[in-house]
Structure 1
């Protein structure tokens, strides 16, 4: 196994209509992500959930400038139930946009001999891009699945996907991803 699936911030504050910072685009991509999750499970990929989580009652400079969201101990930090976690999956909490910053994500990936990262989730312009940028810097090969990322503006989404594809990794659709598995590229 040399490939991991990173599911970025698909937590209830972002995906649930009752979430503190919900937007419909996240709900729309959940079934697409579930399909990719099932494909990756069938190919024995390492599954890593990145879980945005702010500390309750503690100062955080980034969190202080935004609407409250993803507060530890609330339903808002729970992984959306449509994406079933399994005991062998990793759930890595993060407090910044990149899944690598201040976490043990790189260590987990290296311990599992990961080279390729399939990246799905939210927000393309913040957490997806920051995580992909750091993956590039750490010499991983990132693949962002087009139908499985979102932000609250389709134009912003496309601009960041274009930059990712040009400078940081690859943007593929689900069919291309399936073919890459079939051809043994992942």
Structure 2
């Protein structure tokens, strides 16, 4: 009888990384309507969401493969309480930066429901339908860029003895990078899938914050791979 293989080697930059399947989870960062859907916060603010839309299909393949292999899937959701108390107050940097995007503003949702920008239990903070959580998945709400700041994420992962994080989501240079940095500080090995992360901030047609963040991550905070290599590593 062939023994079950727990370790996989994932082709990545700056070098391949060995991952213990029994201690690996897939992290989905902020793939929610306010960031990646028409009528959401980014779209209403005139921010191009096409980069986020383009990574949905590859991300869905990764999630399907992860669930099939028995890997935990953990979602992060950026959301605030209805009274906005967890924004830090009117004078906080977080509130100031988000005021221009209308955090807390009442807006009609495309599905006819009443919506509020970045407020929990609304259409705005629902996960994109194509990536909807399934039974057994975990959802961790957050109210800052990092998924570890004042959340249960570290407990969720340590309770499951997770050491390796395969990271997907948006935006690459803000919530993804913030979360990866904090994960590395806590001893997690992070692999960011380049074609499953997205960034609407572009410097020019040749350079993007997405590419800059991936370079920083592979040099100092983790590893970078892609969906094809990750799925193949699970199949192999």
Same fold at TM > 0.5: yes
Question: Smaller-chain TM-score range?
Answer: over 0.9
Give 1:74 deviation, angstroms. 2.1
Does the 8 A contact of 1:9 with 1:121 survive in 2? yes
Which residue is 2:97 aligned to? 65
Ranges of 4+ aligned residues in structure 1 off by more than 3 Å: none
8 Å Cα contact 1:11/1:79 also seen in 2: yes
Residue of structure 2 aligned with 1:47, choices 57, 73, 77? 73
- Range with greater deviation from structure 2 (35-44 or 66-75): 66-75
Query: In the alignment, what sits opposite 1:91?
Result: 139
Over aligned residues, Cα RMSD in angstroms? 1.4
Cα contact 1:54–1:63 (8 A) shared by 2: no
Q: Distance in 2 between matches of 1:78 and 1:32?
A: 19
Secondary structure, in 3 states, of the residue corresponding to 1:82?
helix
Q: 2:233 aligns with which of 167, 180, 184?
A: 180
Q: Determine the structure 1 residue equivalent to 2:106.
A: none
Gaps of 5+ in 2: 1-21, 44-48, 104-116
- Structure 1 gap ranges (5+): none
TM-score of the aligned structures, taking structure 2 as reference length? 0.74
Indicate the structure (1 or 2) with the bigger Cα radius of gyration.
2
**Number of residue pairs aligned between Structure 1 and Structure 2:** 183
In structure 1, C-alpha distance between the alignment counterparts of 2:199 and 2:231, rounded to whole Å: 24
TM-score (norm 1): 0.93
Cα–Cα, structure 1 residues 87 and 64, in superposed 2: closer, same or farther, change >3 Å? farther
Match of 2:42 among 5, 9, 21: 21
Query: Are 2:97 and 1:75 aligned?
Result: no
Deviation at 1:105, TM superposition (A): 0.5
* Cα distance in 2 between the residues matched to 1:144 and 1:55: 29
Alignment match, 2:7: none
Contact map agreement 1:5 1:40 (CA 8 A) in 2: yes
Preserved CA contact (<8 Å) 2:77 2:141? yes
